[in-house]
Amino acid sequence: MDFKIVVAGTSLGGLKAITALLSALPENFSLPLVVIQHREYASGELLKGLLQKVTCLPVQEVEDKDAILPGRIYLAPPDYHLLIDRGEFALSIDDPVTFARPSVDVAFDSAAASYGQGVLAVILTGAGRDGAAGAASIEAFGGVVLVQDPSSAEAKSMPQAAIAATKAAHVLPLAEIISFLHQNCCLGGQPQHV
């Protein structure tokens, strides 16, 4: 499989899962990884600081029209929708979607329309149903969807909604999602553990 970009969505309680995912990424992780996490407006750049501590890959909170580069972690800024264009990001202050801004649906759908079969989407633990429609878009454009196994997720409704909305999503525990990323998103085949 030839992925171009990884997009991951989770809700407010997903910090533990995101931290586990990022801390397991090797130095030779060779794709852009975009994280859409529901968050409080006031959270500022706190999340960026927390996540930078667990990975050697550079973490940044997106500004409008920032370039999308491989081997970097991008965070959706609070109170904006993050949209993915070919090679760059765009932001919007359109109304919240399913009560969320940033919305996983909006980000996933735009990623699908820009990168088609090159999108690998990951839905992690979360409450609500944001991400389900987005995951369906990813499939419609030929991308691949991984969903954290609800039985191992702290909050099950977001993964469950994504499974219900898709036809061929891979339902995996977090550890296997991580190995999938190792096998498919790293330079030089076998990853070098750090």
Partner 1 sequence: MVITQPDLEAVEIQLLLDGLFRHYGVDFRDYSYPSIRRRIRNMMIDEKLSTISALQERLLHDPSCMERFLLAVSVHVSSMFRDPPFFANFRAAVVPLLRTYPYVRIWHAGCSTGEEVYSLAILLSEEGLLERSKLYATDHNESVLRKARQGIYPLSAMKLYTDNYIKSGGKRSFSEYYTAKYEHAIFAPALSSNVVFAQHNLVGDRSFNEFNVIMCRNVLIYFNKTLQARVHKLFYESLCQLGVLALGDRESIKFSPYEDCFKELVGESKFYQRVK
Rounded to whole angstroms, how far apart are CA atoms 81 and 96?
Answer: 8
Binding positions for partner 1, 78-137, rule CB under 8 A: 79-80, 83-86, 88, 90-95, 106, 109-110, 112-117
Check binding of 51 to partner 1 (CB under 8 A). Answer: no
Catalytic residue among 105, 130, 137, 182: 130
Rounded to whole angstroms, how far apart are CA atoms 101 and 78?
Answer: 7
Q: Which is nearer to partner 1, 29 or 141 (CB)?
A: 141
Upper half-sphere CA count for residue 19 (Cβ side, 13 Å): 12
Strand partners of residue 10: 37
137 is catalytic: no
Closest distance between partner 1 and the C-beta of residue 178, in Å? 27
Closest distance between partner 1 and the C-beta of residue 35, in Å? 15
Give the residue carrying structure tokens 């533990």.
16
Q: Which is nearer to partner 1, 29 or 80 (CB)?
A: 80
Buried b (16+ CB within 10 A) or exposed e, 143-179: bbbbbbbbebbebbbbbbbbbebbeebebbebeebbe
* Residue ranges that bind partner 1, judged by CB under 8 A: 61-65, 77, 79-80, 83-86, 88, 90-95, 106, 109-110, 112-117, 139-142, 167
Please identify every residue annotated as catalytic: 11, 38, 130
